């Protein structure tokens, strides 16, 4: 068996993972990124709209600063974020955008003179100043006081990922693609690397490292309807969960994006609404201006998704063979804008829908998009529970997003957090002395080999992995969606417990040898159901509504009892429910809890007596 040594092992080769690896490499350390796909096919490349950073260069961003960005982020999180982390992010973001420009990202730039823009379907005029010519410009995104989303048309993730991957190549960062980490190597105190499976040959490899980083993105594929790519299936979270020592933070905080196209659920960027697109109902009439007169289509994503779902419930949805939907209208933006600044949206609509958005409406509905929850880390990106284990990006609960993240903040987080955490990893490595215990390594390799052989040879496994996965997805979709109730979540948890028992009885229909997707799915299915239970059980126990977590039976945000972060452990691998602990959502209140300014909701204040609403 091949054993490979490196100073830093990064599981995942998207923007967050590669940006962290760059910091380690610049400090003189060796770094290897493991990836299911070639690095440039990582899901970071699918991000369209842009990255938030308070540059204040364009006319509608005048007066912006990190303080305003920080305030928007805290309000967007519905006071669920770690405000110290949100402050680190807001302060660092402008520096990181300029760093990316230096590396070669072709940001859209300020063009002086008068130009037209749309808001709420109406046309307005703005004038860009000559002194700002050529500076990085910005577009409008939801839940923000200023235009601050830096963009490259609507291919921002693609452009930034290709640029960052070039820097990795220049610095000698290795990317081992078609490789999947299936277990962490640890002794209960320290992480020593991972056991990985080559997806070309099926062979196991050992990667030993002084520091290991999980950067595998979200876990949206535990839902049936998601904008996430097929590789976003929780594969990086599962090895951490299986240690029994590392908690997942805020797993019930799941974001649904307002504009997934019907029926494929491919995302069309928030930049459509930021640039002036509007949402229409079955009568082709606007409705967000009724529910949110101030922010309209650009309230935060959790708010817009709820109002869209509510409007469909009111009988205003468009019926189709694929379920009810609403319309996104960008026709008034014009051909030049759509085929220029929204060219990927144009290509998606024409290629996957047969719809020409220059002249036709786009069918959209809210769909699972982002995971605020993930591997719980401190502000340095160090995972709870095990020394030498880090996490960064969407796979982590760092926790700057709280219970709802703002559009543009997550793509910015990949490089901002990647830089901050990567530097902390380099500092950790400066004084790291690691002794690799061969018996610990051998035991883990043996355990994984036996697990694979059991799936291949077991004749008693009666469950089909794909049917089990579909049952999990459908159960979570019904019980832990945009609107949640006690009855729905209770039933969801009970069904998922039954599905977990089925997942433990999975057998293979194929021989499991070589390149075998059924074996890959079977190795992950139990962990995926455990993640689904973390989502549903955490949501059941959180008796309030905060951000993306909306309880119809507990509609108030309860700051008195629930200003907390959920920590979900799977302490015994044979348990059928996670263990839930809680910690304060923030240690430092730069901004005391208050009203978000959008999204109508009740608030039970922290100083309210029991049973009294503030």
Catalytic residues: 257, 273
The structure tokens 């640039």 sit at: 275
Q: Give the Cα separation of 604 and 519 in Å (integer).
A: 48
Which run of H or E residues covers position 492? Answer: helix 486-503
**CA neighbor of 32 nearest in space, from 207, 198, 170:** 207
Burial class (CB in 10 A: 0-12, 13-18, 19+), 130: exposed
Tokens of 210: 């002084």
The answer to whether the CB of 227 falls within 8 A of the CB of 367 is yes
Q: Give the Cα separation of 480 and 475 in Å (integer).
A: 8
Please count the CA atoms within 13 angstroms of the CA of 109 that sit on its side-chain side.
Answer: 12
DSSP collapsed to 3 states, 300-315: CHHHHHHHHHHHHHHH
CA angle 446–452–454, rounded 5-degree value: 100
- Where does residue 104 fall: left (phi above 0), alpha (psi -120 to 50 degrees), or beta otherwise? left
**CA neighbor of 68 nearest in space, from 136, 143, 132, 156:** 143
**CA neighbor of 550 nearest in space, from 599, 493, 594, 491:** 599
Burial class (CB in 10 A: 0-12, 13-18, 19+), 264: middle
The answer to whether the CB of 387 falls within 8 A of the CB of 380 is no
Distance of CA 307 to the CA centre of its chain: 22
- Where does residue 168 fall: left (phi above 0), alpha (psi -120 to 50 degrees), or beta otherwise? alpha
Burial class (CB in 10 A: 0-12, 13-18, 19+), 410: buried
């Amino acid at each position: 068996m091949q054993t490979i040594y490196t100073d830093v092992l990064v599981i995942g080769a998207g923007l967050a993972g590669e940006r962290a690896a760059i910091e380690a490499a610049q400090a003189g350390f060796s770094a290897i990124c493991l990836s299911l796909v070639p690095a440039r096919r990582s899901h970071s490349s699918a991000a369209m709209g842009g990255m938030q950073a308070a540059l204040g260069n364009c006319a509608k961003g005048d007066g912006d600063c990190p303080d305003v960005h920080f305030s928007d982020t805290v309000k967007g999180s519905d006071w669920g974020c770690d405000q110290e982390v949100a402050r680190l992010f807001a302060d660092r973001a402008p520096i990181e955008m300029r760093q990316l420009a230096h590396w070669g990202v072709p940001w859209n730039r300020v063009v002086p003179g008068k130009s037209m823009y749309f808001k709420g379907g109406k046309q307005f005029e703005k004038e860009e100043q000559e002194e700002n010519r050529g500076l990085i410009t910005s577009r409008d995104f939801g839940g923000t006081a200023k235009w601050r989303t830096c963009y490259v048309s609507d291919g921002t993730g693609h452009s930034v990922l290709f640029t960052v991957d070039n820097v990795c190549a220049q610095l000698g960062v290795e990317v081992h693609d078609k490789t999947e980490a299936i277990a962490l190597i640890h002794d209960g105190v320290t992480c020593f690397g991972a056991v990985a499976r080559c997806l070309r040959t099926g062979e196991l490899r050992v990667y030993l490292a002084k520091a290991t980083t999980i950067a595998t993105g979200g876990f949206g594929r535990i839902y049936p309807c998601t904008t996430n790519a097929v590789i976003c299936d929780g594969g990086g979270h599962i090895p951490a969960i299986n240690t029994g020592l590392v908690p997942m933070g805020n797993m019930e905080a799941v974001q649904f994006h307002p504009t997934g196209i019907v029926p494929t659920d491919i995302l069309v960027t928030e930049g459509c609404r930021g640039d002036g697109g509007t949402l229409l109902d079955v009568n082709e009439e606007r409705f967000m201006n009724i529910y949110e007169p101030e922010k309209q289509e650009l309230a935060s994503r959790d708010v817009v998704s709820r109002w869209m779902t509510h409007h469909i419930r009111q009988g205003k949805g468009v019926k189709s063979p694929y379920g009810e939907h609403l319309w996104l209208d960008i026709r008034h933006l014009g051909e030049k804008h759509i085929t220029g600044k929204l060219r990927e949206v144009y290509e998606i609509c024409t290629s996957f829908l047969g719809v020409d958005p220059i002249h036709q409406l786009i069918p959209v509905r809210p769909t699972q998009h982002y995971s605020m929850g993930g591997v719980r880390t401190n502000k340095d990106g160090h995972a709870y529970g095990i020394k030498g284990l880090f996490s960064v990006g969407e796979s982590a609960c760092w926790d700057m997003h709280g219970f709802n993240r703002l559009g543009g903040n997550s793509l910015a987080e990949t490089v901002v957090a990647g830089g901050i955490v990567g530097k902390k990893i380099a500092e950790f490595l400066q004084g790291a002395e690691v002794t690799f215990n061969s018996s610990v390594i051998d035991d883990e390799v043996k355990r994984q080999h036996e697990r694979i052989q059991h799936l291949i040879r077991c004749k008693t496994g009666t469950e089909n992995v794909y049917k089990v996965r579909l049952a999990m997805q459908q159960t979570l979709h019904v019980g832990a969606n945009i609107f949640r109730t006690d009855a729905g979540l209770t039933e969801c948890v009970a069904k998922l417990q039954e599905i977990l028992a089925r997942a433990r009885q999975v057998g293979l229909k194929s021989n499991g040898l070589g390149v075998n997707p059924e074996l890959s799915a079977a190795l992950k299915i139990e962990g995926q159901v455990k993640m689904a239970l973390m989502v549903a059980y955490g949501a059941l126990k959180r008796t309030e509504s905060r951000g993306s977590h909306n309880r119809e039976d507990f509609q108030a945000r309860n700051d008195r009892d629930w200003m907390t972060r959920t920590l979900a452990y799977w302490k015994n691998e044979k348990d059928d429910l996670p263990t839930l602990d809680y910690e304060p959502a923030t240690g430092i209140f730069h901004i005391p809890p208050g009203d978000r300014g959008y999204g109508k909701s009740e608030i039970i204040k922290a100083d309210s007596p029991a049973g009294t609403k503030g």
